Structure 1
Amino acid sequence: MEATVKKVYLGTTHFHEANEMVRAALAQADTVQLEDVFAQRYLGCTMPAGKRLEIFGTPGNDMACYMDGGSIEVFGNAQDQIGNTMNGGEVVIHGRCGDAAGYAMRGGHIFVRDNCGWRVGINMKQYEEKVPAIVIGGDAGSFLGEYMAGGIIVLLGQPGEYLATGMHGGVMFLARRPDERLVADGLVCEPVDEEGLAVLRPLLAAYNRHFARELGKPIAEDGAGFWALRPASSRPYATLYAN
């Protein structure tokens, strides 16, 4: 069966009415192209597998919140909290994103071509086969991976201050070794081993599929020179609690 495409023009429509328009369009088509998007919130919220949004403009906060398997591609920048508590699917940003992307994210992938704001990946988690991943092509603001409990963050640029504060699960792959003062007590930072490379390389390849053409050349996909940042213990705060 041939996939169906529907266009919706949002303009300055209030976010409540805008989301009603989007939901109605998704009920009729597999792919919905949103034109003239001006910061409407909650676009793609709870969207299921098999549905796709293509966004031309700037979506507002909480895009893809609770998304459950669909795909969203933004041809421009995105605002705060994209992928809030996202459960599955893929988000691709052809630009930068704001703060707290992937907040409490528990599944799916987010790819950002350029920089991101503060607190990206805060409270990320994973369970069994659900391993969320965020790939940032530029620099990150402060508190990247704050209280991270699981999942994967890949950073191709420079991290900000307070890197991985309170991190107690998951792994962060960094394209260059961070300054020692950024590595907090309870964390270890070491060159990526073969097991880590097996996880990292497919994410780098996916980043290239999305962005290499517009960046002018692909990034290296072999993972050479990357560093892995992770908790030194699976229970880093055990001593804070009574037995």
Structure 2
Amino acid sequence: MTTTKTKQITLDAQGIYYKQFNETIREKVSEGYTDFKLVNVNGQRYLATALDGDFSFEINGVPGQDMGAFMRGPKIHVHANAQDGIGNTMDDGKIVVHGLAGDVAGYAMRGGNIYIREDVGYRVGIHMKAYMDHQPIIVVGGKAGDFLGEYMAGGIILLLGMFSGKPDAPISGRSLGTGMHGGVIYVRGKAPVDQLGPGLHAQPVDSEDMEVIERIVKDYAKELDVDADEILSEGFEKIRPFSHRPYGNMYVPT
């Protein structure tokens, strides 16, 4: 679906079950509304799921699981925290979370951008993959839980470790990049060697990497109103897969 004119509406989620609330959103989409302000959101699931087109969502409150799943094009700003599974298998669009996000953000995403200002939970970016000319990007401004980028097959994860409520925790949890066989994870500062998945190693970024990082950081900083220069004042390391078949030696050839 392609939309060309802006038509705005405010919807109040107070006390409304998620199914009814999503039905209302889709009714308003069919009526030609493109810009949505959702207020008093409190755990309603599947917001903007599977929407295709140039839609904008400003969400006040904490959305529930699978916000933005399977979507292709919308832009979502969450002015609070977000629960698990945001951007699940999304193809395109942008999700910006001004607080924390839960587990499995960006699961199997194939395109678009997810920007999170603070910390995230476990298995963020699991099964991410590049799809045709789409390059999915996840930026975590804080720290990440275990299994960041697990089985990653494509795309970019940028882990900053700056805006965190866990000052004494490592920048990422255990098994960082376990099983990854494509894509790249960039870490601001030093990657935690003792947290890396089997067979992985970190190395300094080169000039081409820095061009990519600078472009992403500038967009991230613009969306979240943070200082790009401060983010870029520290060096970065990158983690790439050592093989496109990391567990190939586990199987007996036939």
- Band of TM-score, shorter chain: over 0.9
Give the whole-Å Cα distance in 2 for the aligned partners of 1:98 and 1:221.
23
Pair 1:7 & 2:17 matched: no
Q: Give the drift of 1:164.
A: 1.1
Question: With structure 1 as the length reference, what TM-score do the two structures score?
Answer: 0.93
Give the whole-Å Cα distance in 2 for the aligned partners of 1:211 and 1:63.
19
In the alignment, which of 17, 21, 26 is matched to residue 23 of structure 1?
26
Aligned to 2:179: 166
Give the whole-Å Cα distance in 2 for the aligned partners of 1:134 and 1:185.
22
Give the whole-Å Cα distance in 2 for the aligned partners of 1:211 and 1:115.
14
Q: Give the drift of 1:176.
A: 1.8
Give the whole-Å Cα distance in 2 for the aligned partners of 1:220 and 1:240.
44
Instruction: Answer yes or no: is the 8 Å Cα contact 2:106–2:128 preserved in 1.
Output: yes
Q: Deviations over 1:46-66 (max 9, x none)?
A: 111211111111100000000
- Give ranges in structure 2 of 5+ residues lacking alignment: 162-170
Aligned to 2:118: 114
Aligned to 2:93: 89
Worse overlay, 196-205 or 12-21: 196-205
Q: Give 1:60's aligned amino acid.
A: G
Pair 1:136 & 2:149 matched: no
Give the whole-Å Cα distance in 1 for the aligned partners of 2:193 and 2:95.
32
SS at match of 1:37: strand
Q: Give the alignment's Cα RMSD to 1 decimal.
A: 1.6
Give the whole-Å Cα distance in 1 for the aligned partners of 2:76 and 2:100.
15
Aligned to 1:77: 81
Give the whole-Å Cα distance in 2 for the aligned partners of 1:185 and 1:38.
39
Instruction: Answer yes or no: is the 8 Å Cα contact 1:25–1:32 preserved in 2.
Output: no
SS at match of 2:138: strand
- Give ranges in structure 1 of 5+ residues lacking alignment: none
Percent of pairs with identical residues: 42
Give the whole-Å Cα distance in 2 for the aligned partners of 1:114 and 1:12.
28
Aligned to 2:108: 104
In the alignment, which of 39, 44, 57 is matched to residue 43 of structure 2?
39
Q: Give 1:15's aligned amino acid.
A: Y
Aligned to 2:166: none
Aligned length: 240
Question: With structure 2 as the length reference, what TM-score do the two structures score?
Answer: 0.89
Q: Give the drift of 1:211.
A: 1.8
Q: Give the drift of 1:222.
A: 4.3
In the alignment, which of 222, 229, 237 is matched to residue 247 of structure 2?
237
Instruction: Answer yes or no: is the 8 Å Cα contact 2:179–2:247 preserved in 1.
Output: no
Aligned to 1:125: 129
SS at match of 2:39: strand
